[in-house]
Amino acid sequence: MAPTRRVVLIGPESTGKTTLAAELAAAFDAPWTPESARLIAETSPEPLSAATIEPIARRCIALEDEALASHPPLLIRDTDLVSTAVYAHHYYQTCPAWIDAEAQARLGDLYLLCAPDLPWTADGIRDRRDSRDSLFADFQRALVHRGARTEEIRGTGAARRAAAIAAVEAMLTAPGDGPTPPTAPC
């Protein structure tokens, strides 16, 4: 059985990740996992904090493992542990070492880095409207550092969706490639 190819939507808040994840799942008839940080933020009586980084990471792992249990050929992820690590470093200037290590061990096959070129939309959880450009740069650096195959996704509506679909199709048709191991530890 061929291993599941994992496509991860990643980037700053309010960049269309969830919308694209659902659209890609429909286009490729693939399962998708929701964003673990959002699930915890929506159900926790307390605001997210440094203490919630590890529960977010464990939920992220559980969502991925649950989706992989049926061995689908393709899995779409609305963020993964790389996102958890980037946000931990952004908000708290640290990240538990096991999360960084696990993010590298579970590196996706393709990261669709969503640019902050969509209007920011308040939703009660998002709080970094003015940090989207710097967060985008943080995501770029993290993905390069990890040796992740990355495609930047820009534009709006049908153009954004078409770019994401084209990137996934290119990954699926490329022979035997996957994430490139990093040259230095995280």
Give the C-alpha separation, 110 to 168, whole Å. 8
Q: Is the dihedral of CA 101, 126, 74, 180 positive or negative?
A: negative
Give the C-alpha separation, 2 to 96, whole Å. 32
Answer whether 80's CB lies under 8 Å from 106's CB. yes
**Cα(first)–Cα(last) distance of the chain, in Å?**
31
Domain boundaries, the chain: 5-173
Selected residue with higher pLDDT from 156 and 184: 156
- Phi/psi at 135 (nearest 5 deg)? -65, -40
Domain 5-173 indexed as CATH 3.40.640.10? no
In the structure, what pLDDT confidence band is assigned to residue 122 with cuts at 50, 70 and 90?
low
Selected residue with higher pLDDT from 44 and 108: 108
Nearest Cα residue to 28 out of 177, 178, 169, 175: 169
Q: Which of 40-49, 94-103, 136-145, 171-180 comes out lowest in average pLDDT?
A: 171-180
pLDDT of 180: 40
Q: Which of 2-6, 124-128, 159-163 comes out lowest in average pLDDT?
A: 124-128
In the structure, what pLDDT confidence band is assigned to residue 176 with cuts at 50, 70 and 90?
low
pLDDT of 83: 96
Say whether pLDDT at 107 is over 70: yes
Instruction: Give 37-92 pLDDT, tens digit per residue.
Output: 889 888 887 888 899 999 999 999 999 999 999 999 999 999 999 999 999 999 89
